[in-house]
Amino acid sequence: MKMLRKLSSSLRRHISTSCRSYRYDKLFKVHPSVREALAEHRPVVALESTIITHGMPYPHNLSTAKEVEAIVRAKGVTPATVGILDGTIHVGLSPEELDFMSRCKTALKVSRRDLPYVISKGLSGGTTVSGTMIAAHRAGIHVFVTGGIGGVHRDGENSLDVSADLTELGRTPIAVVSAGVKSILDIGRTLEFLETQGVCVATYGKSKSFPAFFSPSSGFTSPYSVHNAEEAAELIASTLSLGLQSGVLLAVPIPEEHAAAGQEIEGAIQAAVTEARLKGICGRDVTPFILQRVSELTEGQSLQGNIALIHNNAKVGSEIACALSERMKKCQSGPRGSSEILEEKNQPSKPKPVVIGGVNVDCIAKVTKKLLFGQTNPGSVCQSFGGVGRNIADCLSRLGHKPLFISAVGTDTHSDAVLNYCKHMDTSAVVRLEGQRTATYCAVITESGELSLGLGDMDIHQQIKEQHVCQYEEQLSSASLIVLDGNIPVSTINYVCSVAKKHSVPVWYEPTDADKACKPFLSESWKALSYTSPNLAELCTMNRTLHLPTPEVLPDSPEDVLSCASSLSRPLLEHLNCVVVTLGSLGVLVCGEYEAGSVRLQPRKHQRRGRLCAVYYPALAVRSEETVNVSGAGDRYVITDLLLSHTSVISPFWPCIHACLSLFSLPDSCFFTFLFLFFSLCVLLSIILLSLSLISLTISHSLLLSHYFHPDCLFIKISPSLSFSPSHSFSLSVMFSLDLSQSCGWDDGRDLAGEGHTQLYAHGPPRCTPLSLLSSPHHSISDFRCHPPREGSFSAMAKTHLHVDGVITD
């Protein structure tokens, strides 16, 4: 039970939740019975097909294949015979397909090296141990039963004739159940080679004696032994949980009742080996020739022995698959590991977001005075845990969205620390890689909280490869949102985008930095993105990658920054739903489709895109000493509204609220209770002050509106302050809206509807003149709606005066 608890959290990520759908459906086909078994977490055993196409003559090959599948089914396990038919890899064959393969005279023997050629030519063939392992692993099958594996050929130290089965065992996490290695091979060197490849070898039974196919003992011993199916399942589970990416070889001796003829068969084997050498037979033709010749020399006894050991392997392999399946189910339903998210029982399952990105151990140095290079600066140094992907997953987890986080870490002390820190997150898809260092990031932060210098050792991020991510294609295809961190490889980004496009899953791309912002835009993958959150430099990189014009120097003034950001966002919105441009201390510019005074977040279904707009949210004023760290602060603030199914960006202060919640882990109820009490106190204080005297209140703010996407579209919001007269030291921030996206007059005789005594001064093209607004004198927040000019740019300044007891002051 201790072992089960220890392995449960890491083992769960290897459980095949269903048969995955692959990008290349024409190349890979899973039989419906196999797909259903995998989806229901029932045991499945993979079977090879070279024994059908090259191992036995017809009809013995067909009858043996059917008998083996029947033995597997009798154990409550689904058989999945792997073969290639007309250039398509099949995992699971129908009776008609089995019959075709058993009769096919042109079938090839297909190993790893042969797969591309056979598929490209549309040929058929039987898969070797190596080829079957590849297909079974892609389908999510963990146990594979065969007769015997290939090995190092005799005189292999000179010929270098080593079977691809051995190298495949060293790089594919599959448990292979076999009768050991054929005695026609160099068994000693084969075991040495397997050790070099990192393959765990164990004999099934009480003895460690390594079997030699027809003989229960080869004269060599295995490093380990497992006594029963439960121990074998525990061994396989340990291998999967460690993420070693190497296989397990379980050597099953031939039953004693069939081993009596082993000595006679061994003599025939040696004679056949000599004959093959004299005839110059080598390579892949050696084994079929020897098996055929041995069968002739023993008058069929070797064939019966071959069939008997395959039957026995199928029986043992099925028992191991059942034990492993039960073990995995216990891991799912048993005590949760430290990295797992507790879920309420009987809750209907909802699509979860998936975050794919990096994990960093951050060393943050913050100076207390102006940074001076070349000397020691006073400051504070602390260690924390970061990484763009981890930050986003962490924030979403704290806000209740429970994303699946896919990443990679090393096996060093840093990985233990970061995974323990992230125990509130679902880190079941974070793989620990031997020989790799967990990513480390060192940052120097100025006294104002700005990033001055960053250094990163992040090579492990390149190990977040498609081969690892594709294990979670089921979760990707049903996700509510996929968030991609720009640190991951381009091939992984392309793969995820293709899956998302196929299943209509929205994708958010966080570009990380200017150098990595280009990754999706190097191919057509960027068209599958729905959202992105670059800063201005990253936005320039995206446009530059698409061969679009960009400024040589980034602008400095707020007006030019907004103009540049909106201009560069427009080309991306031809395919993306929303572009969120982070502007540092200036705030955020959100660009997308206009809806009800804001930007629409959720994409429309089967509807034409509406007018585009840009919404500007200035940053809240925060004292420098209150700034903790601005690095990564913009990673996920709009994602929460998106996951809450809000159709639009609701309010300028929502991002700040979410950022505060993420930073301080303050429950929503507590925060909003505080917010309610604060505003209640403000209202009470206002009534008391107004009852004492007439107080002048003034709202004043200006904003340059220098760009628009469409003649009928421009929308920018500003947030000025509402202040009491200087004699009272109290202020309260309110939202002030300037909306230029609705249909209103702009020609001579134009009139606008607003609330509050307001004046709008428009400057730009000659025909724009000051406009007067007539409205009710009893409101403090105003809305303006009008058409912008058809050409050129213009600026607008809004000034609002609030009535207090009938007295207006300018």
Residues annotated catalytic, as ranges: 48, 182
Query: Between β-strands 451-457 and 440-445, what pairing exists: parallel, antiparallel or unpaired?
Result: antiparallel
DSSP 52: I
Which residues are within 8 A (CB) of 677 and not within 5 positions of it... i.e. 6 or more apart?
none
Residue 785's SS3 state is: coil
Which residues are within 8 A (CB) of 691 and not within 5 positions of it... i.e. 6 or more apart?
none
CB hemisphere CA count around 279 (13 angstroms): 14
Which residues are within 8 A (CB) of 374 and not within 5 positions of it... i.e. 6 or more apart?
none
Contact between 34 and 135 under an 8 Å Cβ cutoff? The reply is: no
Number of other residues whose CB lies within 10 A of the CB of residue 710: 14
Return the structure tokens found at 385: 């845990």
Which residues are within 8 A (CB) of 337 and not within 5 positions of it... i.e. 6 or more apart?
5, 8, 9, 10, 12, 428
Contact between 539 and 591 under an 8 Å Cβ cutoff? The reply is: no
Strands in 410-458 per DSSP E: 426-432, 440-445, 451-457
For residue 316, with 0-12 CB atoms within 10 Å meaning exposed, 13-18 middle and 19 or more buried, which class applies?
buried
How far apart, in whole angstroms, are the C-alpha atoms of residue 405 and residue 359? 10
Q: How many residues does the chain have?
A: 810
Which residues are within 8 A (CB) of 46 and not within 5 positions of it... i.e. 6 or more apart?
80, 81, 82, 91, 132, 133, 135, 136, 139, 141, 143, 144, 145, 174
Contact between 351 and 21 under an 8 Å Cβ cutoff? The reply is: no
How far apart, in whole angstroms, are the C-alpha atoms of residue 718 and residue 589? 11
Q: Measured between alpha carbons, how far is residue 303 from residues 67, 109, 258, 276, 480 in Å?
A: 15, 20, 11, 19, 55
Strand partners, 717: 737
Instruction: Examine residue 32 and say whether the peptide bond preceding it is cis (omega within 30 degrees of 0).
Output: no
In the block, residue with structure tokens 């048993």: 334
Residue 340's SS3 state is: coil
Contact between 759 and 799 under an 8 Å Cβ cutoff? The reply is: yes
How far apart, in whole angstroms, are the C-alpha atoms of residue 300 and residue 175? 31
How far apart, in whole angstroms, are the C-alpha atoms of residue 189 and residue 505? 50
Which residues are within 8 A (CB) of 279 and not within 5 positions of it... i.e. 6 or more apart?
none
Q: Measured between alpha carbons, how far is residue 231 from residues 218, 238, 324, 332 in Å?
A: 23, 11, 10, 19
By C-alpha distance, which of 769, 763, 788, 703 is closest to 737?
703
Number of other residues whose CB lies within 10 A of the CB of residue 670: 11
By C-alpha distance, which of 710, 701, 708 is closest to 782?
701
Which residues are within 8 A (CB) of 35 and not within 5 positions of it... i.e. 6 or more apart?
18, 19
How far apart, in whole angstroms, are the C-alpha atoms of residue 765 and residue 795? 10
Query: Between β-strands 88-91 and 143-145, what pairing exists: parallel, antiparallel or unpaired?
Result: unpaired
∠ Cα 171 237 48 (to 5°): 55
What backbone phi and psi angles, to 5 degrees, belong to 636?
Answer: -145, 20
User: What's the N-to-C CA distance of the chain in angstroms?
Assistant: 77
